[in-house]
Amino acid sequence: MRVVIAEDLTLLRDGLTRLLEAFDFEVVEAVDNGPALLPALLRHRPDVAVVDVRLPPTQTDEGLKAAIAARVAIPGLPVLVLSQHVEPLYARELLTDRAGGIGYLLKERVSDVEQFVSTVNQVAAGGTAFDPEVVAQLLARRGPLDGLTAREHDVLRHIAEGRSNAAIAGRLFITEKVVSKHINSIFAKLGMPPSDDDNRRVLAVLMFLDA
């Protein structure tokens, strides 16, 4: 799988490259600044991009902006955004094109190497994966999700964090069938018509972010 990395700190750029290569990813380019990112993404059209939010020269949200711009040019380009702090606001901006293939994680999640790599794969496959920290911040609010039962809340949280039905079943100690039942109930309560399951999952997460 071909990856483009954008990270300005050499230490972390090299670490990420080493980590992903250890798992048989092919790092086609690793850039260290914002302006170089968009051309790199358009040139390589990677299977997934791993992007730091804050990049030179402005040291603001250059990485995020480039990621969003790249997804305008290449709809659905899978991007996993990393940051040292997470903001639900950024998560929502990343998802506004409703296309999926988006991840948004705290950088420190890379220390759980297996989990991190599986998240990269999931994003590359068009899934969504949001950091538990983002999810926790969102859950603290009230909104249209109040109609969900506690169990459905748990399930939705796991969907937002990017887990498959099987993984959710494992976490919650229930069968996959029960998970699907909860998911259908969630979709119904959120007023989403039956359609392609992946797409509905993204929409549910988006609704979760918008709530």
Q: Which residues contact another protein by CB under 8 A?
A: 9, 11-12, 15-16, 18-19, 22, 54, 59, 84, 107-108, 110-114, 116
In the complex, the smallest distance separating the C-beta of residue 44 from another protein, rounded to whole angstroms, is 23
In the complex, the smallest distance separating the C-beta of residue 141 from another protein, rounded to whole angstroms, is 26
Q: Phi/psi of residue 45, each to 5°?
A: 45, 65
Residue 56 or 76 with smaller CB distance to another protein = 56
3-state helix/strand/coil string of 131-167 = CHHHHHHHHCCCCHHHHCCHHHHHHHHHHHCCCCHHH
Residue 22 or 166 with smaller CB distance to another protein = 22
Residue 106 or 211 with smaller CB distance to another protein = 106
Residue 23 or 44 with smaller CB distance to another protein = 23
Could you tell me if 21 and 14 are in contact, meaning their C-beta atoms sit under 8 angstroms apart? no
Q: How far is residue 163's CA from residue 132's CA, in Å, rounded to a whole number?
A: 11
In the complex, the smallest distance separating the C-beta of residue 52 from another protein, rounded to whole angstroms, is 10
Q: How far is residue 71's CA from residue 190's CA, in Å, rounded to a whole number?
A: 26
In the complex, the smallest distance separating the C-beta of residue 113 from another protein, rounded to whole angstroms, is 4
Q: How far is residue 158's CA from residue 45's CA, in Å, rounded to a whole number?
A: 29
